A = this chain, B = another copy of it.
Amino acid sequence: MPSDQTRSSILEAAERLYAERGFADVTLRDIVAAADVNLAAVNYHFGSKDELIAELFMTRGLATNRERLNELKAAEAAGGGRADIEAILRALVGPTLRGCLGPDNERSTAARFMIRASIEAVPPIRRIKNREIDHLRKFAAAMRRSLPDCGDADLYWGLHFALAMAHQTIRDSERLLKLSEGQCDLDDVEGMIARIVAAAAMTLRRPANMGRAPRPNSDVAGYRRTTPGLTG
């Protein structure tokens, strides 16, 4: 029975460095230096760099998903099996936003690592990512229970938009801060969760009547529809 000391040191250092600096900028030599272990230890314990990343992605992904599902189940239990759409969306985007942008004592390297994984989508991760779909399906199912009259496509678009706003806020918070010259308060994580949840819930409660798109100005440079209605 191995001591696992070296192994977990590597995992911990790799998670932190990847979360902070991304996959492209972190080498195995950086990791073993931070973990204070020998270079060959990575290949000895994990087989290869890709397998190390894959293991990180799986364990940390499970942790993040578990947290979201806990919030979802709590919300559904409180509502007798059917949660408010806002509560569902909050369970979907809240943990990651708090883990990435919240006050330091609430941040989690797991959440920040998973965001990096989602941003850079390095090959070993891309190979596993299908698991995420199954996880999201549970949220889609809860949303369906919460909004039985909502169309399928509207529902998926709403879920997609919620994730999009959360993800991009984490990714590009600096641009928003600069653009707004500090008027968007990025330290108020609960406030921005509320914004995202409210925006997505609005599109779900009152889905736009858009089987057909409003035609844009046809004289605008660069836009000309040459094959009308081919997607119908």
A-side interface residues toward B, CB under 8 Å? 24, 67, 70-71, 74-75, 78, 86-87, 90, 94-95, 98, 103, 105-106, 108, 119-120, 130, 132-133, 136-137, 140, 152-153, 156-157, 159-161, 163-165, 167-169, 172, 175-176, 178-180, 183-185, 187-188, 190-196, 198-200, 202-203, 206, 208, 210-217, 219-227, 230-231
Contact = CB atoms under 8 A, between A and B. Distances in A.
Contacts of A183: 152-153, 156
Nearest to A176: B160
Contacts of A221: 67, 70-71
Nearest to A214: B194
Nearest to A164: B168
Chain copies in the assembly? 2
B133 A156 contact: no
A183 to B, nearest CB: 5
Contacts of A175: 132-133, 160
A176 B156 CA distance: 7
Given A194-B210, A230-B187, A223 B179 contact: no
B231 A178 contact: no
A231 B67 contact: no
A227 B78 CA distance: 26
A24 B25 CA distance: 11
